[in-house]
Amino acid sequence: MKSDVPLSPTDSSDGCQGQSKGCLLGCMPGRVEGSTKRRLAANARERRRMQGLNTAFDSLRKVVPQWGEDKKLSKYETLQMALSYIMALNRILTEAERYRDGGDWSASQQYEQLQQDCQGYLGLASPNDCDHFISQTFSH
């Protein structure tokens, strides 16, 4: 992972990545100094913006179910999982209200419904995965 953030105009990664990129510093001394400063400031803002975005992704990862603690979800996987998770929770709420209004709903029925939601929305094959999902859901 590339974590070394260029901090100053003298840094080697100041925008001179490869010859095809515009080399803002040193190529046209003097005349472009103003625009160079603006570009570097824009780069810094963009870095901060992306860091904010990544912080938001980390927050999302914390509330989204994840099987196996070993591998961190990618951004794409995090979004897909969040979508499935929200849909599953929405389904659970809808079903719970329906059963509540229609009479009694035993604990075993609730659990079966949860397992069906798991398999349907999250594409899980194994009941163990469903149990894991359910325990995570109610731990939040």
Summarize as ranges the residues that interact with DNA (CB under 7 A).
1-6, 13-18, 20-24, 38-47, 49-51, 54, 74-77
Give whichever of 37 and 98 is closer to DNA, judged by the CB atom: 37
Q: Which of 47, 79, 87 is nearest to 60 (CA)?
A: 79
Q: How far is the CB of 65 from DNA (least distance, A)?
A: 17
Give whichever of 41 and 93 is closer to DNA, judged by the CB atom: 41
Residue with tokens 């992704």: 57
Give whichever of 20 and 108 is closer to DNA, judged by the CB atom: 20
Give whichever of 63 and 93 is closer to DNA, judged by the CB atom: 63
Q: How far is the CB of 139 from DNA (least distance, A)?
A: 24
Q: Which helix (H) or strand (E) holds 24?
A: none
Q: How far is the CB of 62 from DNA (least distance, A)?
A: 15
Tokens describing residue 26: 């040193």
Helices (H) and strands (E) in the chain, counts: 4, 0
Q: How far is the CB of 38 from DNA (least distance, A)?
A: 6
Tokens describing residue 22: 């515009």
Q: Kindly report the CA angle at 60 between 50 and 68, in degrees rounded to 5?
A: 115
